[in-house]
Structure 1
Amino acid sequence: MDVIAALPALAALTALAAAFFAPGVPAAHAAETAGTVSIMVTASYPLLGRQADGGLWMMAETPPLLALVLVAARRAPARRAVLSAGLPGAAVALMLVRVMWPGEPSLMIGGCAGWSLLSIAAAGTGLYLRSLDTAGHRAVTEARRAQRLALARDLHDYVAHDLSGILVQAQAARMVSGPLPPPVADALRRIEEAGQRALASMDRTVEMLHDRPDAGDDHRLPGIESLESLVGGFSPPASLTVTPGLDLPRETSATVYRVVTEALTNVRRHAGAATRVAVEVTAGGGAVRVRITDDGGRRSGTTDQDGSGRDGSLGGGSLGGGSGRGGFGLIGLSERVGVLGGSLTAGPTRDGWHVTAVLPAETVPDVTLPAEIVPDVTLPSEATP
Structure 2
Amino acid sequence: MTRDGGRRFAAAGRWVTEGGRRVTAGGVAGVAGAVSLAVTLAHPLTGRASVNALAMVAEVSVLLVLTVVTVRRSPARQAAVAATLSGSAVAFILLRAVWQGPPQLAFGACAAWALGAVAATGVGLYLRRLDDNRRRAVEEATRAQRLGLARDLHDFVAHDVNGMLVQAQAARVVAGELPEPVADALRRIEEAGQRALASLDRTVHALGERGPGIEGLARLADAFSPGVRVDLHVEPGPAPRQEVSSLAYRVVAEALTNVRRHAPRATIVAVEIGEKGGVLRVRVADDGGGSSPSTRAGGFGLAGLGDLLEARGGRLTAGPHGPGWQVVAEIPA
TM-score by length of 1: 0.44
Higher-Rg structure is 1
TM-score by length of 2: 0.50
